[in-house]
Amino acid sequence: MAELKATPIVALDVPDATSALALVRRLGGECGFYKVGSELFTAAGPSVVRAIRELGHEVFLDLKFHDIPNTVAGAIKSAVSTGASMLTIHASGGAEMIRAAVDAAGPECRVMGVTVLTSFTAEGLGAAWGRVGVSVDDEVTRLAGLCSAAGAHGIVCSGHEASMVRQRYPALSPLVPGIRFADGAAHDQARVMTPGAAVAAGARYLVIGRAVTGDSDPAAAMARVNQEIGRVG
Ligand code: C5P
């Protein structure tokens, strides 16, 4: 049996609970977590998280919290009470906010710090932050350092930064979105990687959205992901 090297997560980027639960029933246990993000959560609320839990699956609540530490801690306590066992914050919220998030999440829920969104290029990032000559690698490393010091479980980065983060902060688990098959479209993602290449680069979790959910046969696309990353059952 091949060694399980990374956990795939399917992003339920759909507008309502009915479509989300249909995908969950179709894909079953072929992934480790189902990701509920802002589109689905804003439409369907915490009940969709509970419904996925009731079907026996883990939920990654990707709401990318970014606020004052006290507010983030409150949001995270609410998230944990829905049954989410992994969630995201923006690492750029700073050390105090990340520590408040980790404390509020407790031992049952993993906190992942978003470093630089995978839709950003270096130019786009520099323009957004009002700086010239910004290096994505440097910013990811700097933000990963904040997450590491504050005790986060992992960070969100592209596959292109995963090995660098893993070398520098071996205890942090990289979660990599922007996953595409070699013959697939990139859509709005700027820094994409195939499932196999992302795992080889050190990804511990892979977030897969449109490459699976946008396929005419999502179960077959999911099987292709699992085959590429050597995941068995
Ligand atoms: O469809 P696609 O595979 O591009 O979906 C990627 C998912 O991962 C989306 O839900 C997106 O919000 C999320 N994500 C991302 N980049 C990050 C963090 C999360 O694309 N840095």
Which atom of ligand 1 is nearest the CA belonging to 189? 4
Residue 45 phi, psi dihedral angles, 5° rounding: 75, -175
Can you list the domains of the chain with their CATH numbers? Answer: 7-230 (3.20.20.70)
pTM: 0.93
* Residue 61 CB–ligand 1 contact under 6 Å: no
What is the SS3 string spanning 2-53?
Answer: CCCCCEEEEECCCCCHHHHHHHHHHHHHHCCEEEEEHHHHHHHCHHHHHHHH
Separation CA 168–CA 120 (nearest Å): 22
Tens of pLDDT, residues 50-106 = 999 999 999 999 999 999 999 999 999 999 999 999 999 999 999 999 999 999 999
Separation CA 208–CA 33 (nearest Å): 11
Which residue has a Cα nearest atom 12 of ligand 1?
37
pLDDT (mean) for 189-208: 93
Residue 207 alpha carbon to ligand 1 centre in Å = 7
* Residue 195 CB–ligand 1 contact under 6 Å: no
Tens of pLDDT, residues 133-173 = 999 999 999 999 999 999 999 999 999 999 999 999 999 99
Three-class secondary structure of residue 61 per DSSP? strand
